[in-house]
Amino acid sequence: MEGDGGAGERTASRLPDRLCEMKSYLWRFASGDGMDIVALLKDVLELFETSAAQGRSVLDVTGDDVAAFCDECLHDSTSYQGTWRASLNRDVATKLAE
């Protein structure tokens, strides 16, 4: 796994400097061992590379609301919010069942 994480970080480091904020945002909300987010960053990078080859800018891909784009990317990933939400629901259900 250590090798996979290094490869993921190298992939993420290929993002243009102006997109490092997106990387940071995505990492903040990911949970688990980080492999989900590494795969997601790879997919985002490939999307931007393909779009750039077609002459499209980053904002052509993300739209003006970059955070909403990131949130949509995270939709199928395990996130801390999802983990906390599941924990809250489970804890409340357990207390109500007592």
Return the closest-CA partner of residue 58 out of 12, 19, 23, 14: 19
**Per-residue pLDDT tens listing for the chain (98 residues):** 344 445 445 554 555 666 788 888 888 877 777 777 888 888 988 999 899 899 998 889 999 999 999 989 888 777 777 788 899 999 999 999 98
Q: How confident is the model at residue 54, as a pLDDT? A: 94
pTM of the model: 0.65
DSSP label of 65: -
- The CATH code of domain 2-97 reads 1.10.1900.10
CA distance to 48, 64, 73, per residue, from 61 (Å): 7, 9, 12
Domain boundaries, the chain: 2-97
